[in-house]
Structure 1
Protein backbone atom coordinates (compact mmCIF):
# COMPACT_ATOMS: atom_id res chain seq x y z
CA UNK A 1 0.00 0.00 0.00
CA UNK A 2 1.31 3.42 -0.93
CA UNK A 3 1.97 5.88 1.80
CA UNK A 4 -0.77 8.54 1.92
CA UNK A 5 0.57 11.84 0.63
CA UNK A 6 0.69 13.82 3.85
CA UNK A 7 2.76 16.89 4.67
CA UNK A 8 4.39 16.50 8.06
CA UNK A 9 5.98 19.48 9.79
CA UNK A 10 9.73 19.63 10.01
CA UNK A 11 10.02 17.29 12.97
CA UNK A 12 13.31 15.83 11.93
CA UNK A 13 15.28 18.59 13.64
CA UNK A 14 13.86 17.38 16.93
CA UNK A 15 14.30 13.70 16.23
CA UNK A 16 17.61 12.97 14.58
CA UNK A 17 18.07 9.34 15.46
CA UNK A 18 17.92 6.83 12.64
CA UNK A 19 16.76 3.32 13.24
CA UNK A 20 18.38 0.38 11.57
CA UNK A 21 16.60 -2.83 10.80
CA UNK A 22 18.58 -6.01 10.98
CA UNK A 23 19.45 -7.83 7.82
CA UNK A 24 16.24 -8.87 6.11
CA UNK A 25 16.57 -11.21 3.18
CA UNK A 26 18.79 -9.74 0.55
CA UNK A 27 19.52 -6.34 1.99
CA UNK A 28 19.72 -4.04 4.98
CA UNK A 29 16.94 -1.47 5.20
CA UNK A 30 17.15 1.94 6.77
CA UNK A 31 13.95 3.51 7.93
CA UNK A 32 12.83 6.68 9.59
CA UNK A 33 11.43 7.45 12.98
CA UNK A 34 8.08 9.17 12.78
CA UNK A 35 7.07 12.57 14.10
CA UNK A 36 5.36 13.12 17.46
CA UNK A 37 2.31 10.93 17.63
CA UNK A 38 -0.15 13.69 18.53
CA UNK A 39 0.45 15.36 15.19
CA UNK A 40 -2.70 15.95 13.07
CA UNK A 41 -0.89 14.40 10.13
CA UNK A 42 -0.81 11.06 11.93
CA UNK A 43 -4.59 11.15 12.13
CA UNK A 44 -4.61 11.83 8.40
CA UNK A 45 -2.39 8.81 7.83
CA UNK A 46 -4.77 6.59 9.81
CA UNK A 47 -7.80 8.11 8.09
CA UNK A 48 -6.45 7.50 4.60
CA UNK A 49 -5.32 3.99 5.52
CA UNK A 50 -8.77 3.17 6.88
CA UNK A 51 -10.38 4.66 3.78
CA UNK A 52 -8.14 2.58 1.52
CA UNK A 53 -9.20 -0.61 3.29
CA UNK A 54 -12.86 0.10 4.08
CA UNK A 55 -14.00 2.88 1.76
CA UNK A 56 -14.98 4.96 4.80
CA UNK A 57 -13.18 7.81 6.54
CA UNK A 58 -12.76 8.09 10.30
CA UNK A 59 -15.62 9.94 11.96
CA UNK A 60 -15.07 12.78 14.41
CA UNK A 61 -15.42 10.55 17.46
CA UNK A 62 -12.86 8.06 16.15
CA UNK A 63 -10.40 10.87 15.47
CA UNK A 64 -10.90 12.21 18.97
CA UNK A 65 -10.36 8.78 20.49
CA UNK A 66 -7.11 8.25 18.59
CA UNK A 67 -5.91 11.73 19.50
CA UNK A 68 -6.80 11.12 23.13
CA UNK A 69 -4.95 7.80 23.24
CA UNK A 70 -1.84 9.28 21.67
CA UNK A 71 -1.98 12.13 24.17
CA UNK A 72 -2.15 9.62 27.04
CA UNK A 73 -5.67 10.64 27.99
CA UNK A 74 -8.05 8.38 29.86
CA UNK A 75 -11.39 7.56 28.29
CA UNK A 76 -13.08 9.61 31.02
CA UNK A 77 -10.98 12.62 30.03
CA UNK A 78 -11.89 12.24 26.36
CA UNK A 79 -15.55 11.86 27.31
CA UNK A 80 -15.47 14.99 29.44
CA UNK A 81 -13.63 17.02 26.82
CA UNK A 82 -16.04 16.22 24.01
CA UNK A 83 -19.29 15.74 25.92
CA UNK A 84 -19.73 11.97 25.69
CA UNK A 85 -20.27 9.39 28.41
CA UNK A 86 -17.21 7.38 29.42
CA UNK A 87 -19.13 4.20 28.60
CA UNK A 88 -19.82 5.39 25.07
CA UNK A 89 -16.18 6.34 24.53
CA UNK A 90 -14.98 2.98 25.81
CA UNK A 91 -17.37 1.08 23.52
CA UNK A 92 -16.47 3.18 20.47
CA UNK A 93 -12.77 2.78 21.28
CA UNK A 94 -13.07 -1.00 21.45
CA UNK A 95 -14.75 -1.07 18.03
CA UNK A 96 -12.16 1.30 16.58
CA UNK A 97 -9.17 -0.67 17.87
CA UNK A 98 -10.70 -3.89 16.56
CA UNK A 99 -11.09 -2.30 13.13
CA UNK A 100 -7.47 -1.13 13.19
CA UNK A 101 -6.38 -4.64 14.22
CA UNK A 102 -8.11 -6.06 11.15
CA UNK A 103 -6.63 -3.39 8.87
CA UNK A 104 -3.05 -3.61 10.13
CA UNK A 105 -3.02 -7.37 10.62
CA UNK A 106 -1.90 -7.21 14.23
CA UNK A 107 -3.58 -6.72 17.57
CA UNK A 108 -4.07 -3.04 18.31
CA UNK A 109 -4.76 -2.00 21.89
CA UNK A 110 -4.88 1.29 23.70
CA UNK A 111 -1.50 0.47 25.23
CA UNK A 112 0.26 -0.25 21.93
CA UNK A 113 -1.49 2.04 19.43
CA UNK A 114 1.46 4.41 19.22
CA UNK A 115 4.00 1.66 18.50
CA UNK A 116 1.69 0.03 15.95
CA UNK A 117 1.30 3.31 14.08
CA UNK A 118 5.05 3.84 14.17
CA UNK A 119 5.62 0.45 12.57
CA UNK A 120 2.91 0.97 9.98
CA UNK A 121 4.20 4.38 8.93
CA UNK A 122 7.75 3.08 8.73
CA UNK A 123 6.60 0.10 6.67
CA UNK A 124 4.72 2.34 4.27
CA UNK A 125 7.45 4.91 3.92
CA UNK A 126 9.78 1.97 3.78
CA UNK A 127 12.33 1.72 1.22
CA UNK A 128 10.96 -1.68 0.35
CA UNK A 129 11.93 -1.04 -3.24
CA UNK A 130 15.53 -0.72 -2.06
CA UNK A 131 16.77 -2.88 -4.92
CA UNK A 132 14.89 -0.70 -7.40
CA UNK A 133 16.73 2.33 -6.07
CA UNK A 134 20.05 0.52 -6.34
CA UNK A 135 19.35 -0.63 -9.88
CA UNK A 136 18.23 2.81 -11.01
CA UNK A 137 21.07 4.94 -9.65
CA UNK A 138 22.54 5.19 -13.13
CA UNK A 139 19.13 6.16 -14.48
CA UNK A 140 18.93 9.02 -11.98
CA UNK A 141 22.34 10.27 -13.01
CA UNK A 142 21.71 9.97 -16.72
CA UNK A 143 18.34 11.71 -16.60
CA UNK A 144 19.16 14.45 -14.11
CA UNK A 145 22.73 15.37 -14.97
CA UNK A 146 23.62 18.79 -16.38
CA UNK A 147 23.16 18.75 -20.16
CA UNK A 148 26.19 21.02 -20.60
CA UNK A 149 28.47 18.45 -19.00
CA UNK A 150 26.71 15.32 -20.16
CA UNK A 151 27.87 14.06 -23.52
CA UNK A 152 25.32 12.79 -25.99
CA UNK A 153 25.53 9.01 -26.29
CA UNK A 154 26.54 7.58 -29.61
CA UNK A 155 23.85 5.80 -31.61
CA UNK A 156 25.59 2.49 -30.96
CA UNK A 157 25.37 2.95 -27.17
CA UNK A 158 21.94 4.61 -27.01
CA UNK A 159 19.20 2.52 -25.48
CA UNK A 160 15.52 3.05 -26.30
CA UNK A 161 13.53 4.48 -23.42
CA UNK A 162 10.81 1.93 -22.74
CA UNK A 163 7.55 2.55 -20.84
CA UNK A 164 9.01 0.53 -17.94
CA UNK A 165 12.02 2.86 -17.88
CA UNK A 166 9.77 5.90 -17.49
CA UNK A 167 7.54 4.21 -14.92
CA UNK A 168 10.48 3.15 -12.77
CA UNK A 169 12.01 6.60 -12.75
CA UNK A 170 8.66 8.26 -12.05
CA UNK A 171 8.12 5.90 -9.11
CA UNK A 172 11.57 6.67 -7.77
CA UNK A 173 11.04 10.41 -8.09
CA UNK A 174 7.79 10.08 -6.17
CA UNK A 175 9.70 8.34 -3.36
CA UNK A 176 11.95 11.37 -3.06
CA UNK A 177 8.85 13.55 -2.97
CA UNK A 178 7.35 11.51 -0.15
CA UNK A 179 10.50 11.81 1.91
CA UNK A 180 10.51 15.57 1.33
CA UNK A 181 6.92 15.72 2.54
CA UNK A 182 8.11 14.14 5.79
CA UNK A 183 10.44 17.08 6.33
CA UNK A 184 13.74 15.50 5.29
CA UNK A 185 16.39 17.66 3.71
CA UNK A 186 17.91 16.77 0.35
CA UNK A 187 21.11 15.76 2.16
CA UNK A 188 19.19 13.31 4.36
CA UNK A 189 17.30 11.89 1.38
CA UNK A 190 20.53 11.39 -0.56
CA UNK A 191 22.03 9.59 2.43
CA UNK A 192 19.15 7.19 3.00
CA UNK A 193 18.65 6.42 -0.70
CA UNK A 194 22.39 6.26 -1.31
CA UNK A 195 22.23 8.45 -4.38
CA UNK A 196 24.22 11.59 -5.24
CA UNK A 197 23.03 14.78 -3.55
CA UNK A 198 23.00 16.67 -6.85
CA UNK A 199 20.58 14.09 -8.23
CA UNK A 200 18.12 14.69 -5.40
CA UNK A 201 18.42 18.46 -5.76
CA UNK A 202 17.41 18.27 -9.42
CA UNK A 203 14.20 16.40 -8.72
CA UNK A 204 11.53 19.08 -8.35
CA UNK A 205 8.27 17.99 -6.74
CA UNK A 206 6.76 21.38 -6.06
CA UNK A 207 3.30 21.77 -7.53
Structure 2
Protein backbone atom coordinates (compact mmCIF):
# COMPACT_ATOMS: atom_id res chain seq x y z
CA UNK A 1 0.00 0.00 0.00
CA UNK A 2 1.45 3.36 -1.14
CA UNK A 3 0.92 5.78 1.73
CA UNK A 4 0.90 8.92 -0.42
CA UNK A 5 -1.61 7.43 -2.85
CA UNK A 6 -3.95 6.51 0.00
CA UNK A 7 -3.72 10.05 1.41
CA UNK A 8 -4.50 11.48 -2.04
CA UNK A 9 -7.53 9.18 -2.26
CA UNK A 10 -8.74 10.24 1.20
CA UNK A 11 -8.21 13.89 0.27
CA UNK A 12 -10.25 13.42 -2.94
CA UNK A 13 -13.10 11.83 -1.01
CA UNK A 14 -13.18 14.62 1.56
CA UNK A 15 -13.03 17.26 -1.19
CA UNK A 16 -15.90 15.60 -3.03
CA UNK A 17 -18.02 15.79 0.12
CA UNK A 18 -16.99 19.14 1.59
CA UNK A 19 -15.27 21.09 -1.19
CA UNK A 20 -12.20 21.39 1.04
CA UNK A 21 -8.92 19.49 1.09
CA UNK A 22 -7.49 17.78 4.14
CA UNK A 23 -5.83 20.24 6.47
CA UNK A 24 -2.50 19.60 8.16
CA UNK A 25 -3.94 17.88 11.25
CA UNK A 26 -6.36 15.75 9.22
CA UNK A 27 -3.46 14.57 7.07
CA UNK A 28 -1.48 13.74 10.20
CA UNK A 29 -4.40 11.75 11.62
CA UNK A 30 -4.91 9.85 8.36
CA UNK A 31 -1.19 9.16 7.97
CA UNK A 32 -0.74 8.20 11.62
CA UNK A 33 -3.74 5.86 11.51
CA UNK A 34 -2.32 4.11 8.45
CA UNK A 35 0.95 3.71 10.35
CA UNK A 36 -0.84 2.21 13.37
CA UNK A 37 -0.26 5.17 15.67
CA UNK A 38 -2.51 6.06 18.60
CA UNK A 39 -4.24 9.41 18.94
CA UNK A 40 -1.91 10.25 21.82
CA UNK A 41 1.15 9.78 19.58
CA UNK A 42 -0.35 11.93 16.83
CA UNK A 43 -1.21 14.62 19.37
CA UNK A 44 2.35 14.61 20.70
CA UNK A 45 3.79 14.91 17.20
CA UNK A 46 1.47 17.82 16.33
CA UNK A 47 1.88 19.47 19.75
CA UNK A 48 -1.84 19.60 20.49
CA UNK A 49 -4.38 18.14 22.92
CA UNK A 50 -5.27 14.46 22.50
CA UNK A 51 -9.00 15.11 22.95
CA UNK A 52 -8.84 17.68 20.14
CA UNK A 53 -7.15 15.12 17.88
CA UNK A 54 -9.90 12.62 18.73
CA UNK A 55 -12.60 15.15 17.84
CA UNK A 56 -10.97 16.04 14.51
CA UNK A 57 -10.46 12.33 13.78
CA UNK A 58 -14.09 11.51 14.56
CA UNK A 59 -15.27 14.24 12.17
CA UNK A 60 -12.90 12.98 9.47
CA UNK A 61 -14.22 9.41 9.74
CA UNK A 62 -17.78 10.74 9.65
CA UNK A 63 -17.10 12.73 6.47
CA UNK A 64 -15.56 9.70 4.77
CA UNK A 65 -18.46 7.54 5.95
CA UNK A 66 -21.00 9.91 4.43
CA UNK A 67 -19.14 10.12 1.11
CA UNK A 68 -18.70 6.33 0.81
CA UNK A 69 -22.05 5.53 2.43
CA UNK A 70 -20.43 2.92 4.61
CA UNK A 71 -18.99 3.01 8.09
CA UNK A 72 -15.39 4.30 8.23
CA UNK A 73 -13.58 4.40 11.58
CA UNK A 74 -10.02 4.62 12.85
CA UNK A 75 -10.17 0.86 13.28
CA UNK A 76 -11.07 0.04 9.65
CA UNK A 77 -9.66 3.08 7.79
CA UNK A 78 -6.62 1.21 6.44
CA UNK A 79 -8.59 -1.81 5.19
CA UNK A 80 -11.26 0.45 3.66
CA UNK A 81 -8.68 2.46 1.74
CA UNK A 82 -6.92 -0.69 0.54
CA UNK A 83 -10.21 -2.06 -0.74
CA UNK A 84 -11.01 1.20 -2.50
CA UNK A 85 -7.62 1.19 -4.20
CA UNK A 86 -8.28 -2.29 -5.51
CA UNK A 87 -11.73 -1.19 -6.67
CA UNK A 88 -10.25 1.80 -8.49
CA UNK A 89 -7.66 -0.27 -10.32
CA UNK A 90 -10.17 -2.93 -11.31
CA UNK A 91 -12.68 -0.40 -12.68
CA UNK A 92 -10.36 1.98 -14.54
CA UNK A 93 -10.62 1.47 -18.30
CA UNK A 94 -7.33 0.69 -20.06
CA UNK A 95 -7.22 3.94 -22.08
CA UNK A 96 -7.56 6.17 -19.01
CA UNK A 97 -4.03 7.26 -18.21
CA UNK A 98 -5.18 9.87 -15.67
CA UNK A 99 -7.69 9.51 -12.87
CA UNK A 100 -10.42 11.81 -14.16
CA UNK A 101 -13.31 9.40 -13.64
CA UNK A 102 -12.76 7.01 -10.74
CA UNK A 103 -15.25 4.24 -10.05
CA UNK A 104 -15.45 3.49 -6.34
CA UNK A 105 -17.77 0.70 -5.18
CA UNK A 106 -19.83 0.90 -8.38
CA UNK A 107 -20.43 4.67 -8.42
CA UNK A 108 -18.60 7.05 -10.78
CA UNK A 109 -16.84 9.91 -9.00
CA UNK A 110 -15.85 12.98 -11.05
CA UNK A 111 -13.74 15.97 -10.13
CA UNK A 112 -15.67 19.17 -9.41
CA UNK A 113 -15.40 20.54 -12.99
CA UNK A 114 -17.43 17.64 -14.45
CA UNK A 115 -21.12 18.61 -14.83
CA UNK A 116 -23.26 17.37 -11.98
CA UNK A 117 -25.82 15.99 -14.44
CA UNK A 118 -23.34 13.42 -15.75
CA UNK A 119 -22.55 12.33 -12.21
CA UNK A 120 -26.21 11.99 -11.34
CA UNK A 121 -26.91 9.95 -14.47
CA UNK A 122 -24.07 7.54 -13.72
CA UNK A 123 -25.06 7.32 -10.06
CA UNK A 124 -28.59 6.44 -11.15
CA UNK A 125 -27.34 3.71 -13.43
CA UNK A 126 -25.12 2.32 -10.69
CA UNK A 127 -27.15 2.61 -7.49
CA UNK A 128 -25.53 1.46 -4.27
CA UNK A 129 -27.41 -0.57 -1.69
CA UNK A 130 -28.26 1.16 1.55
CA UNK A 131 -25.88 -0.05 4.27
CA UNK A 132 -27.44 -2.02 7.11
CA UNK A 133 -24.75 -1.50 9.74
CA UNK A 134 -23.56 1.62 11.52
CA UNK A 135 -20.53 0.73 13.60
CA UNK A 136 -18.34 3.27 15.39
CA UNK A 137 -15.31 1.34 16.62
CA UNK A 138 -12.85 4.23 16.41
CA UNK A 139 -12.07 3.97 20.16
CA UNK A 140 -11.69 0.19 20.12
CA UNK A 141 -8.00 -0.85 20.46
CA UNK A 142 -6.38 -3.22 17.99
CA UNK A 143 -6.78 -6.82 19.12
CA UNK A 144 -3.32 -8.15 18.34
CA UNK A 145 -2.77 -11.76 19.35
CA UNK A 146 -5.80 -13.43 20.93
CA UNK A 147 -5.39 -16.44 23.19
CA UNK A 148 -7.79 -19.24 23.91
CA UNK A 149 -10.90 -17.92 25.67
CA UNK A 150 -13.37 -20.26 23.97
CA UNK A 151 -15.49 -20.96 27.04
CA UNK A 152 -15.75 -17.30 28.01
CA UNK A 153 -16.49 -16.25 24.42
CA UNK A 154 -19.24 -18.87 24.09
CA UNK A 155 -20.76 -17.81 27.39
CA UNK A 156 -20.90 -14.16 26.30
CA UNK A 157 -22.36 -15.05 22.90
CA UNK A 158 -25.08 -17.14 24.52
CA UNK A 159 -25.96 -14.35 26.95
CA UNK A 160 -26.14 -11.69 24.24
CA UNK A 161 -27.47 -13.51 21.17
CA UNK A 162 -29.61 -16.28 22.67
CA UNK A 163 -30.71 -15.00 26.06
CA UNK A 164 -30.92 -11.37 24.83
CA UNK A 165 -29.45 -9.89 28.03
CA UNK A 166 -29.54 -6.11 28.16
CA UNK A 167 -26.60 -5.46 30.48
CA UNK A 168 -23.58 -7.58 31.35
CA UNK A 169 -20.06 -7.04 32.65
CA UNK A 170 -16.54 -8.40 32.24
CA UNK A 171 -14.38 -7.76 35.30
CA UNK A 172 -11.07 -9.00 36.66
CA UNK A 173 -7.69 -7.90 37.97
CA UNK A 174 -5.60 -5.75 35.64
CA UNK A 175 -3.87 -7.63 32.83
CA UNK A 176 -6.29 -10.57 32.49
CA UNK A 177 -7.33 -9.65 28.95
CA UNK A 178 -10.80 -8.24 29.55
CA UNK A 179 -10.61 -5.70 26.75
CA UNK A 180 -9.09 -8.26 24.36
CA UNK A 181 -12.02 -10.59 25.05
CA UNK A 182 -14.46 -7.75 24.42
CA UNK A 183 -12.77 -6.91 21.10
CA UNK A 184 -12.87 -10.54 19.96
CA UNK A 185 -16.54 -10.72 20.92
CA UNK A 186 -17.36 -7.59 18.90
CA UNK A 187 -15.50 -8.91 15.87
CA UNK A 188 -17.53 -12.12 15.93
CA UNK A 189 -21.04 -10.76 16.61
CA UNK A 190 -21.07 -7.18 15.27
CA UNK A 191 -23.05 -8.16 12.16
CA UNK A 192 -25.92 -9.20 14.46
CA UNK A 193 -26.47 -5.54 15.38
CA UNK A 194 -27.51 -2.53 13.37
CA UNK A 195 -25.52 -0.20 15.62
CA UNK A 196 -22.27 -1.08 17.40
CA UNK A 197 -20.42 1.55 19.43
CA UNK A 198 -17.21 1.15 21.46
CA UNK A 199 -16.60 3.87 24.03
CA UNK A 200 -13.70 4.20 26.47
CA UNK A 201 -14.63 5.92 29.72
CA UNK A 202 -11.03 6.86 30.50
CA UNK A 203 -11.91 10.47 29.66
CA UNK A 204 -14.82 10.21 32.14
CA UNK A 205 -17.73 11.78 30.24
CA UNK A 206 -20.70 12.59 32.44
CA UNK A 207 -23.79 10.49 31.82
CA UNK A 208 -25.41 13.53 30.16
CA UNK A 209 -22.47 13.88 27.77
CA UNK A 210 -22.46 10.16 27.04
CA UNK A 211 -26.19 10.06 26.33
CA UNK A 212 -25.90 13.12 24.08
CA UNK A 213 -23.10 11.45 22.10
CA UNK A 214 -25.21 8.32 21.63
CA UNK A 215 -28.25 10.32 20.61
CA UNK A 216 -26.18 12.30 18.11
CA UNK A 217 -24.90 9.05 16.62
CA UNK A 218 -28.38 7.57 16.23
CA UNK A 219 -29.71 10.83 14.79
CA UNK A 220 -26.85 11.09 12.30
CA UNK A 221 -27.24 7.57 10.94
CA UNK A 222 -30.92 6.99 11.52
CA UNK A 223 -32.09 9.66 9.06
CA UNK A 224 -34.56 10.92 11.67
CA UNK A 225 -36.29 14.22 11.01
CA UNK A 226 -35.99 14.96 14.73
CA UNK A 227 -33.92 13.69 17.66
CA UNK A 228 -35.44 10.67 19.35
CA UNK A 229 -34.98 9.97 23.08
CA UNK A 230 -32.10 7.56 23.65
CA UNK A 231 -34.32 4.83 25.07
CA UNK A 232 -36.55 5.03 21.99
CA UNK A 233 -33.52 4.40 19.76
CA UNK A 234 -32.52 1.41 21.91
CA UNK A 235 -36.04 0.08 21.52
CA UNK A 236 -36.28 0.69 17.77
CA UNK A 237 -32.86 -0.69 16.85
CA UNK A 238 -30.72 -3.67 17.82
CA UNK A 239 -27.66 -2.00 19.34
CA UNK A 240 -24.49 -3.26 21.02
CA UNK A 241 -22.73 -0.62 23.13
CA UNK A 242 -19.43 -1.40 24.85
CA UNK A 243 -18.22 0.76 27.73
CA UNK A 244 -14.57 0.00 28.40
CA UNK A 245 -12.57 1.23 31.42
CA UNK A 246 -15.66 1.69 33.60
CA UNK A 247 -13.41 1.69 36.68
CA UNK A 248 -12.54 5.32 35.89
CA UNK A 249 -16.08 6.27 36.97
CA UNK A 250 -15.38 5.20 40.56
CA UNK A 251 -13.74 6.98 43.48
CA UNK A 252 -10.22 6.31 44.63
CA UNK A 253 -9.69 5.44 48.28
CA UNK A 254 -13.21 4.07 48.74
CA UNK A 255 -14.81 0.63 48.74
CA UNK A 256 -15.62 -0.86 45.32
CA UNK A 257 -18.21 0.67 43.03
CA UNK A 258 -18.70 4.12 44.58
CA UNK A 259 -19.04 6.77 41.90
CA UNK A 260 -16.99 9.92 41.67
CA UNK A 261 -18.80 13.19 42.39
CA UNK A 262 -20.94 14.28 39.42
CA UNK A 263 -21.05 10.72 38.07
CA UNK A 264 -23.72 9.25 40.35
CA UNK A 265 -26.27 9.59 37.52
CA UNK A 266 -24.68 6.54 35.89
CA UNK A 267 -26.37 4.52 38.65
CA UNK A 268 -29.85 5.42 37.41
CA UNK A 269 -28.76 5.11 33.79
CA UNK A 270 -27.53 1.53 34.24
CA UNK A 271 -30.67 0.71 36.23
CA UNK A 272 -32.81 1.94 33.32
CA UNK A 273 -30.81 -0.11 30.83
CA UNK A 274 -31.24 -3.17 33.04
CA UNK A 275 -34.93 -2.74 33.86
CA UNK A 276 -36.54 -1.08 30.84
CA UNK A 277 -37.76 -3.04 27.83
CA UNK A 278 -35.56 -2.67 24.72
CA UNK A 279 -33.70 -4.85 22.20
CA UNK A 280 -30.16 -3.57 22.80
CA UNK A 281 -27.21 -4.73 24.91
CA UNK A 282 -24.65 -2.83 27.00
CA UNK A 283 -21.34 -4.53 27.82
CA UNK A 284 -19.31 -2.99 30.67
CA UNK A 285 -15.59 -3.80 30.96
CA UNK A 286 -13.29 -2.86 33.84
CA UNK A 287 -11.51 -3.79 37.06
CA UNK A 288 -14.78 -3.69 38.95
CA UNK A 289 -18.48 -3.50 38.17
CA UNK A 290 -21.03 -0.95 39.44
CA UNK A 291 -22.43 -1.96 42.82
CA UNK A 292 -26.03 -1.77 41.62
CA UNK A 293 -25.24 -4.46 39.04
CA UNK A 294 -23.30 -7.01 41.10
CA UNK A 295 -25.14 -6.65 44.40
CA UNK A 296 -28.09 -8.69 43.13
CA UNK A 297 -27.62 -11.89 41.14
CA UNK A 298 -29.93 -11.79 38.15
CA UNK A 299 -29.94 -13.79 34.89
CA UNK A 300 -30.44 -10.59 32.90
CA UNK A 301 -27.25 -9.00 34.27
CA UNK A 302 -24.52 -11.68 34.26
CA UNK A 303 -21.04 -10.76 35.47
CA UNK A 304 -18.10 -12.64 33.91
CA UNK A 305 -15.08 -12.51 36.22
CA UNK A 306 -12.07 -13.25 34.05
CA UNK A 307 -9.39 -15.50 35.53
CA UNK A 308 -6.05 -16.80 34.21
CA UNK A 309 -5.43 -18.49 30.87
CA UNK A 310 -5.13 -22.22 30.48
CA UNK A 311 -1.60 -23.60 30.73
CA UNK A 312 -1.16 -24.19 26.99
CA UNK A 313 -2.07 -20.60 26.11
CA UNK A 314 0.15 -19.26 28.90
CA UNK A 315 3.07 -21.33 27.58
CA UNK A 316 2.43 -19.82 24.16
CA UNK A 317 2.65 -16.30 25.62
CA UNK A 318 6.00 -16.75 27.31
CA UNK A 319 7.39 -18.57 24.25
CA UNK A 320 6.41 -15.60 22.06
CA UNK A 321 8.43 -13.34 24.34
CA UNK A 322 11.47 -15.47 23.53
CA UNK A 323 11.51 -17.55 26.72
CA UNK A 324 12.43 -21.18 26.12
CA UNK A 325 9.81 -23.74 27.29
CA UNK A 326 10.80 -25.92 30.24
CA UNK A 327 9.20 -28.86 32.01
CA UNK A 328 8.52 -26.95 35.21
CA UNK A 329 7.03 -23.97 33.38
CA UNK A 330 3.55 -24.70 34.75
CA UNK A 331 4.68 -23.81 38.26
CA UNK A 332 6.06 -20.53 36.94
CA UNK A 333 2.75 -19.82 35.15
CA UNK A 334 0.65 -20.61 38.23
CA UNK A 335 2.71 -18.20 40.32
CA UNK A 336 1.64 -15.38 38.01
CA UNK A 337 -1.97 -16.64 37.90
CA UNK A 338 -1.87 -17.25 34.14
CA UNK A 339 -2.32 -13.48 33.78
CA UNK A 340 -1.39 -12.60 30.15
CA UNK A 341 0.05 -9.15 30.87
CA UNK A 342 1.95 -10.26 33.97
CA UNK A 343 3.47 -13.21 32.11
CA UNK A 344 4.49 -11.06 29.15
CA UNK A 345 6.08 -8.49 31.46
CA UNK A 346 8.08 -10.99 33.51
CA UNK A 347 9.07 -13.13 30.51
CA UNK A 348 10.35 -10.09 28.63
CA UNK A 349 12.31 -9.05 31.71
CA UNK A 350 13.87 -12.53 31.94
CA UNK A 351 14.82 -12.57 28.27
CA UNK A 352 16.53 -9.18 28.60
CA UNK A 353 18.63 -10.53 31.50
CA UNK A 354 19.22 -13.97 29.96
CA UNK A 355 17.41 -15.83 32.76
CA UNK A 356 15.67 -19.21 32.46
CA UNK A 357 12.54 -20.49 34.19
CA UNK A 358 14.60 -22.99 36.19
CA UNK A 359 16.91 -20.27 37.48
CA UNK A 360 13.98 -18.13 38.52
CA UNK A 361 12.18 -20.95 40.30
CA UNK A 362 15.27 -21.60 42.41
CA UNK A 363 14.78 -18.20 44.04
CA UNK A 364 12.05 -17.30 46.51
CA UNK A 365 10.27 -15.02 46.16
CA UNK A 366 10.06 -15.07 42.37
CA UNK A 367 10.91 -12.18 40.08
CA UNK A 368 8.97 -8.97 40.52
CA UNK A 369 10.30 -6.40 38.01
CA UNK A 370 9.56 -2.70 38.28
CA UNK A 371 7.36 -2.83 35.15
CA UNK A 372 5.03 -5.24 36.94
CA UNK A 373 4.96 -3.01 40.03
CA UNK A 374 3.96 -0.08 37.83
CA UNK A 375 1.10 -2.12 36.34
CA UNK A 376 -0.28 -3.07 39.76
CA UNK A 377 0.07 0.45 41.09
CA UNK A 378 -2.90 1.51 38.93
CA UNK A 379 -5.62 -0.58 40.65
CA UNK A 380 -3.87 -0.28 44.03
CA UNK A 381 -4.51 3.48 43.91
CA UNK A 382 -8.26 2.80 44.05
CA UNK A 383 -8.16 0.75 47.27
CA UNK A 384 -9.33 2.27 50.55
CA UNK A 385 -7.07 2.35 53.60
CA UNK A 386 -9.09 -0.37 55.40
CA UNK A 387 -8.72 -2.59 52.33
CA UNK A 388 -4.95 -2.06 52.29
CA UNK A 389 -4.85 -2.77 56.04
CA UNK A 390 -6.64 -6.10 55.60
CA UNK A 391 -4.45 -7.06 52.64
CA UNK A 392 -1.39 -6.35 54.76
CA UNK A 393 -2.65 -8.93 57.28
CA UNK A 394 -3.24 -11.48 54.55
CA UNK A 395 0.30 -11.15 53.17
CA UNK A 396 1.50 -12.83 56.36
CA UNK A 397 -0.70 -15.88 55.77
CA UNK A 398 0.88 -18.63 53.67
CA UNK A 399 -2.33 -20.65 53.50
CA UNK A 400 -5.95 -19.69 52.75
CA UNK A 401 -7.60 -18.31 55.86
CA UNK A 402 -11.09 -18.90 57.22
CA UNK A 403 -13.47 -16.10 58.04
CA UNK A 404 -13.50 -17.08 61.71
CA UNK A 405 -9.76 -16.51 62.01
CA UNK A 406 -9.99 -13.26 60.07
CA UNK A 407 -12.57 -12.01 62.55
CA UNK A 408 -10.14 -12.82 65.35
CA UNK A 409 -7.08 -11.06 63.97
CA UNK A 410 -8.61 -8.12 62.06
CA UNK A 411 -8.38 -4.80 63.96
CA UNK A 412 -11.82 -3.65 62.83
CA UNK A 413 -15.47 -4.37 63.70
CA UNK A 414 -16.88 -7.53 62.14
CA UNK A 415 -19.47 -5.59 60.12
CA UNK A 416 -16.74 -3.42 58.59
CA UNK A 417 -14.60 -6.48 57.91
CA UNK A 418 -17.37 -8.13 55.89
CA UNK A 419 -17.85 -5.00 53.77
CA UNK A 420 -14.11 -4.80 53.15
CA UNK A 421 -13.91 -8.48 52.20
CA UNK A 422 -16.78 -8.04 49.75
CA UNK A 423 -15.08 -5.05 48.14
CA UNK A 424 -11.74 -6.83 47.77
CA UNK A 425 -13.43 -9.87 46.24
CA UNK A 426 -15.27 -7.67 43.74
CA UNK A 427 -11.96 -6.05 42.84
CA UNK A 428 -10.32 -9.51 42.52
CA UNK A 429 -7.60 -8.76 45.07
CA UNK A 430 -8.84 -11.69 47.16
CA UNK A 431 -9.96 -15.10 45.93
CA UNK A 432 -12.71 -16.94 47.79
CA UNK A 433 -12.95 -20.73 47.64
CA UNK A 434 -15.53 -22.45 49.82
CA UNK A 435 -15.20 -20.63 53.15
CA UNK A 436 -11.55 -19.68 52.72
CA UNK A 437 -9.93 -16.48 51.51
CA UNK A 438 -6.50 -16.09 49.95
CA UNK A 439 -4.29 -13.69 48.00
CA UNK A 440 -2.40 -14.70 44.90
CA UNK A 441 1.39 -15.12 45.30
CA UNK A 442 2.03 -12.10 43.07
CA UNK A 443 -0.18 -9.76 45.08
CA UNK A 444 1.20 -11.07 48.36
CA UNK A 445 4.72 -10.46 47.11
CA UNK A 446 3.76 -7.00 45.84
CA UNK A 447 2.29 -5.89 49.17
CA UNK A 448 4.57 -7.86 51.45
TM-score relative to the length of structure 1: 0.44
- By relative contact order (CA 8 Å, sep 6+), the higher-ranking structure is 1
TM-score relative to the length of structure 2: 0.21
Instruction: Please state which structure has a larger fraction of its residues in strand.
Output: 2
